[in-house]
Amino acid sequence: MSKTAIITGGGSGLGQSAALRLAEEGINISVVDVSEKGGSETVDKVKEKGVDALFIKADVSKAEDVKNYVDKTLEHFGSIDYFFNNAGISGSGKYFLETDIKEIEQIVGINLMGALYGLRYVAEAMLKNGGGSIVNTASSAGVIGQDSVVTYAATKHGIVGMTKSLVAEYAKDGLRVNAIAPGPTETPMVKTFFEDNPDMKANAEAGIPQKRLGTPEEVAELVAFLLTSKAQYINGDTIRIDGGFTNTK
């Protein structure tokens, strides 16, 4: 029987790359995104690899939208085996005291509450079926302190904490939950951030020992490894994929 993965933020960047990589393993994909254009594009690309795919439009900051994407996935595929809990935004790059309250609320709503809602409904469905595997997207800003991303860093540190704590509660029941902590990666979100803050790209590349940004495809390889049976005894960990960036801080 084919396995099924839900990927939030699946319409571009890390989510789309992970969808395509998992499709190569014969895994059906439920693509969740706020962008119908991006999500539909991912579905088309996944289907070209010979597996089934479904697009579900959702604003992950709304619990009812999250429950809906879980319900629709179960209705279409019958089970949820893997979950890449990935949707997120970066923010403007302003220093914290210059950041508008609405921006703070938006980042927390999508990055933190969206991830929590996803875990709440997906883990519940997985445990009814004997367990499953989850990868949460944290960030280099979730393992070290960085300027200009205070709210973003707060949400990503939260991702690390929820990953560890969910394992403490449910690993015995067949749930595996890990997180990834990418450094600066060539995704549309990061490209937009650097376009708005050009000095930061040069600073980021200079601070990475490998002297380049990561690629979505490199991150997708790690996601596929952690989600699938190849990583059965890795649980509750946060894996850095950043060219050595955080290890030199």
CATH number, domain at 116? 3.40.50.720
The predicted structure's pLDDT at residue 241: 98
Q: Give a yes or no: residue 194 inside a domain.
A: no
CA neighbours closer than 13 Å in the CB half-sphere of residue 189: 23
The angle at the Cα of 220, spanning 118 to 157, to the nearest 5 degrees, equals 50
For residue 78, give the DSSP letter. S
**Residues belonging to the chain:** 249
Which candidate, 42, 141, 44, places its Cα nearest to that of 84?
42
Please identify every residue annotated as catalytic: 152
Query: Residue 202: inside a domain, yes or no?
Result: no
Residue 242 token pair: 């950043």
Count the helices and strands in the chain (H runs, E runs): 9, 7
Q: What is the span of the domain harbouring residue 100?
A: 4-186+215-241
Digit-by-digit pLDDT tens for the chain (249 residues) are 799 999 999 999 999 999 999 999 999 999 999 999 999 999 999 999 999 999 999 999 999 999 999 999 999 999 999 999 999 999 998 999 999 999 999 999 999 999 999 999 999 999 999 999 999 999 999 999 999 999 999 999 999 999 999 999 999 999 999 999 999 898 887 788 788 777 777 778 888 999 999 999 999 999 999 999 899 999 999 999 999 999 887
- Number of domains comprising the chain: 1
**What is the pLDDT at residue 205?**
82
> Does any domain span residue 205?
no
Does residue 230 form part of some domain?
yes
DSSP state of 113: I
**Is residue 191 one of the residues assigned to a domain?**
no
Residue 6: closest CA among 88, 59, 77: 77
Q: What CA–CA distance (Å, rounded) separates 38 from 9?
A: 9
Per-residue model confidence (pLDDT) at position 51 = 98
CA angle 48, 49, 52 (to 5 degrees): 85
Does 129 map to a domain?
Answer: yes
Between CA 51 and CA 37 the distance in angstroms is 20
In a domain, 170, yes or no: yes
| Position 210, amino acid | Q
Q: Residues 6 or more apart from 110 whose CB is under 8 A from it?
A: 60, 61, 87, 88, 89
Domain-embedded: residue 192 = no
